[in-house]
Structure 1
Amino acid sequence: MLKLQKEVDRYLFETHAKDIEQRGFRVTHTAPVDGYVFCRIQEEDHKIKGYRRNVFACSLK
């Protein structure tokens, strides 16, 4: 799970940081939780949830 978290972190905070910023939201942190990588997002709305689901298939709890 930590390997997956590293991949998600690289995607969010390095390779796609500008794209995410341009979409108007900010990922504050990630954490491995019960078999998935939790992504904390500020300014979350329906459009952003769709982006997150499409890219990572993150849980939308």
Structure 2
Amino acid sequence: MLVSLNDACTMTSMSRSMLNKYRAEGRFPVAVPLGDRRVAFVRAEIQDWIGQRIAARAAA
């Protein structure tokens, strides 16, 4: 299932600018282009990314 950029921000509790910064740095799942100015993200990839952040916290 795909989620919008705004939904990805909500899921991660990150601002749009921070999420875009992470994307530019390759630190966030790659977006799926839907049109000239529209992207979405794979929900499972975002959930995995969140899980990795949680696991990293537990390992620290």
What TM-score does the superposition give when structure 2 sets the normalisation length? 0.32
The structure with the largest alpha-carbon Rg is 2
- Higher strand content, 1 or 2: 1
What TM-score does the superposition give when structure 1 sets the normalisation length? 0.32
- Higher helix content, 1 or 2: 2
